Amino acid sequence: MKKKKGKLIPVRIYGDKILRKRAEPVRKIDDELEQFIADLTLTMYEKDGVGLAAPQIGKSVRIFVVDPFWFNEEAKKDPRVLINPELIALEGEAEAEEGCLSLPDVFGSVKRVEKIIIRGMNEKGEKVEYKTGGLFARVLQHEYDHLDGILFVDHISKLKKISILRKLKKLESTTSENGVNIG
């Protein structure tokens, strides 16, 4: 099968209701879905992201793409697509700064599980499994959260969030009812 060429899709911004919905499982991988995955992947790279979940470009299905190291010098692009992922928390705790393409200019320190196993399907419908830690595990957990309508700021305590609440309110107020970012 010929690989599809992706196109850039606008990223949904905080305040858009689709970011808070639980996404639906994928039932079959057809032509339309292959095109969507190509769009998701291209949009992640164009926006300088290391991960992007389907709801962030307006489709509430359980798919995301990650490539945590592509911007490192000498690293090649190596997108990993996960469809209908299952996440198993293994052990440890790690805290690090996160951001999100749906929350421009918002950053915060988030505690996550250090080591995980994640299973799912790739874009060809083949079973894949990653047992990993560090940044890769963090990005996978962040993207997995998007499929359940969870954003990284939800993991930050109210006290620590005071400084970013104003930014969140502003993002929300510039996102129109139908979900297109107008700010």
Q: Interacting stretch for Ni ion, rule CB under 5 A, among 32-40, 65-73, 92-100, 104-112?
A: 92-100
The string over 49-69, giving b where at least 16 C-beta atoms fall within 10 Å of a residue's C-beta and e elsewhere, is bbbbbbbbbbbbbbbbbbbbe
Note if 143 is an active site residue: yes
Contact segment (CB under 5 A) with Ni ion among 4-12, 71-79, 80-88, 94-102 equals 94-102
Q: Which residue, 59, 67, 78, is CA-closest to 9?
A: 59
Q: Is 66 in the site for Ni ion (CB under 5 A)?
A: no
Tokens of 29: 């991988």
Pick 36 or 152: Cβ nearer Ni ion: 152
Quote the least distance from Cβ 145 to Ni ion, whole Å: 8
Cβ burial 159-168 (10 Å sphere, 16+ → b, else e) = eeeeebeebb
Q: Is 100 in the site for Ni ion (CB under 5 A)?
A: yes
Nearer to Ni ion, 4 or 46 (CB): 46
Pick between residue 133 and residue 149 the one whose CB is nearest to Ni ion: 149
Q: Using CB under 5 A, which of the segments 63-71, 100-108, 119-127, 161-169 binds Ni ion? A: 100-108
Q: Integer distance in angstroms from the first to the last C-alpha of the chain?
A: 40
Given the residues 97, 129, 143, 172, select the one marked as catalytic: 143
Asked if 44 is part of the footprint of Ni ion (rule: CB under 5 A), the reply reads no
150: exposed, middle or buried (Cβ count in 10 Å: 0-12, 13-18, 19+): middle
- Tell me the pairing of strands 80-100 and 127-132: unpaired
* Residue number, 26 or 103, with CB nearest to Ni ion: 103
Q: Which residues are catalytic?
A: 143
Q: Which residues bind Ni ion (CB under 5 A)?
A: 100
